[in-house]
């Protein structure tokens, strides 16, 4: 008994035992820290986890890329078209009225692409996490979800081809303005000894264009053509080309997300049936292992598209 009393007293005199409570344990995964949370804090954490699980991160990233690329593209192309119209009017004395319609087309393209991106984002939200289990519960809703994904995939394919053509056009336009800038960098042109002659490209001008209108001569015209128009327009077209590449990447990202959402909606019924079978098996056999539940339930955390 004396020996037991001495061991008990020595245990109580330990530094960690006497100075620290269990809530200040050195082990951050102690039982009190894991299970002693406040009920309000637990409910707040559960709500945050549920909200985060409903966010389609891949579609959200694609939407941000698409909106950013389309915004830069529309702004730079609007400014580039304005500079081209002024260059044609003040340097070559040609009035191109259709450039004003092109500017309106750029604004319309920006609005349509932004609306399409947000619609696809809504489809991604409906097909993600617990939202999918509530929305696509019935057979008709699952068919409607698959049809909507297929329709958006078709639209994205068509837009992908259109944006590839726009990208090719911008590459050619940027190359042409780079050639113009190299002509302006000629020392004889800068010293006003030679004119920038476009008479060899007379087939690109209207038939009634005068020869002197195809030549850029004099300090005023050279300054307008090189400094005021070509230099600024080339920067705009380079930015527009980069923005179109970003839009093409976002469209590819959209295709991957829509394909994944289509597969999740299609396989939702199968997962639900397997989960119900697992519940029945666990209810009839209480000694069965619970590892299958984690396997069937783990797909919810991998479908944030």
Task: Say whether 196 sits in a helix, a strand or coil.
Answer: strand
What's the confidence (pLDDT) of residue 32?
A: 44
Entry pTM: 0.71
Task: Say whether 197 sits in a helix, a strand or coil.
Answer: strand
Task: Give me the count of residues in the chain.
Answer: 305
Return per-residue pLDDT of the chain as tens, 305 residues: 555 555 556 555 555 444 444 444 444 444 444 444 456 666 776 667 666 766 788 888 999 999 999 999 999 999 998 898 889 888 888 887 787 788 788 888 888 888 898 898 888 887 776 666 666 667 777 788 888 889 999 999 999 999 999 999 999 999 999 999 988 888 888 887 778 888 888 778 878 888 888 888 888 888 888 888 999 999 999 999 999 999 999 999 999 988 888 887 777 666 666 766 777 777 666 555 544 444 444 444 445 55
Task: Say whether 216 sits in a helix, a strand or coil.
Answer: strand
Q: Is the dihedral of CA 34, 39, 45, 50 positive or negative?
A: positive
Q: Are 172 and 180 in contact (CB under 8 A)?
A: no
Domain coordinates in residue numbering, the chain:
56-266
What's the confidence (pLDDT) of residue 166?
A: 93
Rounded-to-integer distance, Cα 60 and Cα 66, Å = 10
Q: Are 96 and 252 in contact (CB under 8 A)?
A: no
Task: Say whether 238 sits in a helix, a strand or coil.
Answer: helix
Rounded-to-integer distance, Cα 240 and Cα 166, Å = 10
CA distances from 126 to 26, 69, 273, 301 (A): 44, 25, 20, 15
Q: Is 230 exposed, middle or buried (0-12, 13-18, 19+ CB in 10 A)?
A: buried
What's the confidence (pLDDT) of residue 3?
A: 55
């Amino acid at each position: 008994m004396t020996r037991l009393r001495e061991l008990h007293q020595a245990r109580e005199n330990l530094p960690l035992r006497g100075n620290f409570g269990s809530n200040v344990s050195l082990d951050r995964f102690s039982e009190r820290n894991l299970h002693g949370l406040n009920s309000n804090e637990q409910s707040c954490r559960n709500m945050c986890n549920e909200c985060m699980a409903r966010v389609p991160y891949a579609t959200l990233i694609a939407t941000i890329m698409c909106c950013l690329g389309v915004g830069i593209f529309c702004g730079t192309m609007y400014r580039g078209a304005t500079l081209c119209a002024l260059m044609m009017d003040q340097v070559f004395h040609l009035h191109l009225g259709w450039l004003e319609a092109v500017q309106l087309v750029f604004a319309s393209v920006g609005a349509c692409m932004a609306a399409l991106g947000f619609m696809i984002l809504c489809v991604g939200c409906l097909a993600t996490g617990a939202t999918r289990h509530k929305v696509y519960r019935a057979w008709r809703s699952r068919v409607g979800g698959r049809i909507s994904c297929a329709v958006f995939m078709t639209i994205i394919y068509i837009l992908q081809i259109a944006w590839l053509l726009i990208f090719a056009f911008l590459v050619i336009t940027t190359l042409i303005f780079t050639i113009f800038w190299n002509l302006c960098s000629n020392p004889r042109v800068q010293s006003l000894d030679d004119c920038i002659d476009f008479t060899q490209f007379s087939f690109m001008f209207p038939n009634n264009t005068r020869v002197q209108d195809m030549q850029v001569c004099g300090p005023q015209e050279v300054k307008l053509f090189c400094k005021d128009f070509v230099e600024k327009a080339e920067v705009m077209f380079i930015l527009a080309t980069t923005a179109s590449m970003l839009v093409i990447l976002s469209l590819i990202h959209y295709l991957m997300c829509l394909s994944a959402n289509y597969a999740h909606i299609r396989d939702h019924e199968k997962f639900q049936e397997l989960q119900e079978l697992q519940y029945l098996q666990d209810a009839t056999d209480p000694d069965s292992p619970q590892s299958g539940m984690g396997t069937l339930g783990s797909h919810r955390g991998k479908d944030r598209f």
